[in-house]
Structure 1
Amino acid sequence: MRLATFFRQGTLSALLALFAFLPAFGADLDEIRHIGKIRHIGIRYANFVTGAGDGFDVDLMKGFARYIGVDYELVYSDFYSVIRDTLGKDIVNTPDGLALQGNFPVRGDVISAGFTHLPWREKFLLFSEPTFPSQVLLVAPANSRLSPIQPSGNLASDIAATKALIGTHSLLVMEKTCLDPSGYGIVGNVVDLRKLTSSTNLNEMVPAMLDGTADIALLDVPDVIRDLDQWSGQIKILGPISEPQVLATAFPKDAENLRDAFNNYLRQIKQDGTYDALVDKYYPGVRSFFSDFF
């Protein structure tokens, strides 16, 4: 009897130890409603997730939690870890292309953080309808000898003219984000490409450039809007590097019902004025950049 009891206790301990290392897999809509909470993975970036408990995407996801009738939890991550924190696997380069590998704890159910809908991410994630517009720009310190391009009325020509400004100037970029130069035909053409490695926060791009890490930098429009205010008179926009992009909320591939519920919620708040209020609260002036989107 005692031996049997010992065996059962030993087996239970072993199982508990095993489960402690298994990831808490993400869930679809029914499971999240059963659990009663949605875990929003956010990244401190521009005004999407401020780090102070608010932001465009924080308010957006709090509203979605109310819409589906569950509690809300914000889980902080960064651009290098966010997919791993959602899927429990890292994206790695293999001879056959990008692939998911490894086993890690799943820390959240949905990514909403000014997250750019990029083609390579679409292989691993479901994306919602667009939540916000964006575009990658080239910026420089205000005292740089480089001058902004003269808009031609043709975006492709303007992008080419902006890239021509880079020349041999050192360019600050951040890999695995929308500021990764590999997506814009820059890699191989820039003599002095500098990767920001001291931080995974896009908010640090302008301070690093102004501190002399590089002559010029890639930056996206939401960050530009924030930085033109924070670093007033210290930076200038030289021109566009990319076509217009869209930001969206991202879900695991097997969370289609959750994604569909979010799309319904997004359409509703765009109709009732809640969405416009969020845009005006966190990004005043953005409509002048993207009048077509809004």
Structure 2
Amino acid sequence: MLHPFRVVVLSFLWSTCLLLLSVSAPASGLESVRERGVLRHLGVEEYANFVTSGREGLSIELIRQFASWLGVEYQFVPTQWSRAVEDLLGRQVLEKNGTLRLGEKRPISGDVLCSGVTALEWRKQLVAFSNPTFLTQVLVVVRGDTPVQPIQPTGAAQGDIARTKGKLHDLELIGLPDTCLDPELYGVKSARPPLKVRDLRPAQLVPRLLDGQVEAVLLDVPSVLMALSHWPGQLKVLGPVSSLQYMACAFRPHDIQLRQAFNRFMEKIRWDGTYYRMVEKYYPSIFSYFPHFFANISPEKLSNDSFKMLSFPGSRE
């Protein structure tokens, strides 16, 4: 697939890629969605409470309501992280010598990718993200009986990250390549234990940690909240390896009208409290960590300065 940490996209190459995309995907965009009468939602099964194994979750409810707002039917299209962007773009995504390029054509499977997708820099080179829909952060999680203790927060993101990385030298740690949990994105050395990590889903990381197959895993905030609730007292968070990150829904770059329609829809449900109630249903404890972000105000009114570093019980000073 690709190695996001090494991605460097030259401006002229990116312009060419956009041109190729616009030629290869005629049956897309707001007009085509309305003509077809169906909005195709690409989602990764299963991922935290965004898309559950029963095809429920925050992302499904969000896009289902968006489809209703557009006056069309809703269709869920399952995908995997390894091919999600390709399923959206209708092109193979290749990496060579640190540069992304678009390869052979492939079927376009959906109109919007929404599944707790973190707006990583390499993804921004390929897709157009909506306004932010969720806040997250990547954390190191270990078993509760691990002798290594959580960091003492410094009050600054980079200080907390440095302290966390300093505790990882003797731990076998894994994440998931080509996702927001890729250790390479954050300069975290992975011990490469004998696991086929590319075949794992985020939901499978904690069971392998508790089984003793690894000593530490990378998880994002939504997955951590679920894990702490599902395995109370068995896990602890050492600290972050990333600063705060946004999640958003991804669209093809040329589907401007569809993306703008989604942003208008999001602004409406933020203001009327609908989105707050959605989030509360699937992530009731998130408000303790990011209270300002999920208030019923539009995201452009918020700045990064509004948010404080995430601190979980057991890792506070």
**Normalised by the size of structure 2, how large is the TM-score?**
0.81
- Does residue 271 (structure 1) correspond to residue 271 (structure 2)? The answer is yes
Rate the CA distance shift 1:107–1:267 in 2: closer, same or farther, 3 A.
Answer: same
Q: How big is the shift at 1:198? A: 6.2
Aligned pairs (5 A) from 1:91-240: 91-95=93-97, 97-186=99-188, 190=189, 192-194=191-193, 197=197, 199-240=199-240
- Does residue 39 (structure 1) correspond to residue 40 (structure 2)? The answer is yes
Contact 1:172 1:196 in 2 (8 A): no
Q: 2:250 matched to which residue of 1?
A: 250
- Does residue 287 (structure 1) correspond to residue 287 (structure 2)? The answer is yes
**Which letter does structure 2 place at the counterpart of 1:254?**
H
Contact 1:26 1:109 in 2 (8 A): no
Q: Deviations over 1:172-217 (max 9, x none)?
A: 110011001121122xxx3624465263421111112222221101
Contact 1:24 1:107 in 2 (8 A): no
Aligned residues: 269
Contact 2:88 2:113 in 1 (8 A): yes
Work out which of the residue numbers 43, 54, 60 in structure 2 matches 1:58. 60
**Which letter does structure 1 place at the counterpart of 2:34?**
R
Q: Does 199-208 or 54-63 show the bigger shift?
A: 199-208
Contact 2:43 2:78 in 1 (8 A): yes
Rounded Cα–Cα distance in structure 2 between residues aligned with 1:74 and 1:115: 16
**Which letter does structure 2 place at the counterpart of 1:75?**
V
Q: Which runs of 4+ in 1 moved over 3 A?
A: 23-26, 193-196
Rounded Cα–Cα distance in structure 2 between residues aligned with 1:159 and 1:85: 34
Q: 1:67 matched to which residue of 2?
A: 69
Rounded Cα–Cα distance in structure 2 between residues aligned with 1:125 and 1:275: 24
CA root-mean-square deviation: 1.6
Structure 1 stretches of 5 or more lacking a match? 1-22
Contact 2:177 2:198 in 1 (8 A): no
Rate the CA distance shift 1:197–1:285 in 2: closer, same or farther, 3 A.
Answer: same
Q: 1:11 matched to which residue of 2?
A: none
Larger radius of gyration: 1
Q: How big is the shift at 1:95? A: 2.8
**Normalised by the size of structure 1, how large is the TM-score?**
0.88
